[in-house]
Amino acid sequence: MIIRTLDELAVYQKALIAADAVSAIIDRPSFEKDRKLKEQLAASSSRVPALIAEGFEQKTDRHFAHYLYLARGSAKETKTHLIVAVKRRHLTTTECDGLVRDYNEIAKMSSGLIHHLEQEDRKHRQPHRNRTLPPESPD
């Protein structure tokens, strides 16, 4: 598959959708009394696609992989905040399970892309030119 733009990267698209879903949840009135958790969820969930985007524009594959490692960490952080939100009764277990699955998939997709980038290890990426990336899968 040839990836020409950031918007064509499946892990980025999935991260944006997941961040939007988290935004909808933290707009609930119950989060007004738990501002710290609301801020942590907002920050970590929006950081995932932002780090992927920043990495996509890096000069080398290793640099891009570094940002994907950070995005993967933020996905795991978001997952933890979601579990805390369930325990504090801001969302249901069912809602949480779906989002946790999404963030686990984002982490797995990031890992696959990291592996590919570290094998390729191109020193001069050309962000706006055609390049081949592996198929993204949650496996």
Give the angle 39-55-104 at the CA atoms, nearest 5°. 55
Residue 127 has pLDDT above 60, yes or no: no
| Contact of 78 with 44, CB cutoff 8 Å | yes
12, with CB counted inside 10 A (0-12, 13-18, 19+), is buried
Tokens standing for residue 72: 């993967």
In a domain, 130, yes or no: no
* pLDDT mean across residues, the chain: 90
Segment holding 61, helix H or strand E: helix 61-87
Contacts of 58 (CB under 8 A, 6+ apart): 64, 66, 67, 125, 127
Question: Which residue range forms the structural domain that includes residue 74?
Answer: 2-125
Flag whether 138 is in a domain: no
Q: Evaluate whether residue 132 is within a structural domain.
A: no
Does any domain span residue 111?
yes
Q: Quote the pLDDT of residue 121.
A: 78
Whether 137 has a pLDDT exceeding 80, the answer reads no
Q: Would you say residue 52 lies in a domain?
A: yes
Report pLDDT digits (tens) over 39-72.
999 999 999 999 999 999 998 999 999 999 999 9
CATH number at residue 116: 1.20.1440.60
Q: Is the pLDDT of residue 117 over 60?
A: yes
Instruction: Examine residue 104 and state whether it is found in any structural domain, yes or no.
Output: yes
Is 92 contained in some domain? yes
Q: Is residue 81 part of a domain?
A: yes
Kindly indicate the confidence band of residue 129, based on its pLDDT and cuts at 50, 70 and 90. very low
Number of domain units in the chain? 1
pLDDT at residue 27 in the model: 95
Task: Please give the model's pTM, rounded to 2 decimal places.
Answer: 0.86
